Amino acid sequence: VRAWLEYRGFSRITVSSLGVLTGRQLLGMSKDDIRTVCPEEAGKVFFQLQGIKSSLALASEPSGMYNSHY
């Protein structure tokens, strides 16, 4: 999580606050949870996480485009 936050260009405060979490913990946080921890960048963090959640959902679909045998 720390490396991902740094790669995405989040502030040092956001990296140190959220970087101690596991990916599962971070993905499980609501926008309000994130806002409590890092109010300045909560929207940006949440937006970035939505993209990851969407990708994970697509990858886990049994008949999804990424799991089909062509």
pLDDT value for 61: 76
**Domain boundaries along the sequence of the chain:** 2-60
- The reported pLDDT for the residue numbered 20 is 98
Locate all alpha helices (DSSP H) within the chain, ordered by sequence: 2-7, 12-18, 23-27, 31-37, 42-60
Q: How far apart are CA 52 and CA 9, in angstroms?
A: 16
Radius of gyration for the chain, computed over Cα atoms and rounded to the nearest angstrom: 14
- Which DSSP category does 67 fall into? T
Summarize pLDDT for 4-50 with one digit per residue, the tens. 999 999 999 999 999 999 999 999 999 999 999 999 999 999 999 99
For the domain made up of 2-60, the CATH class stated in words is: mainly alpha
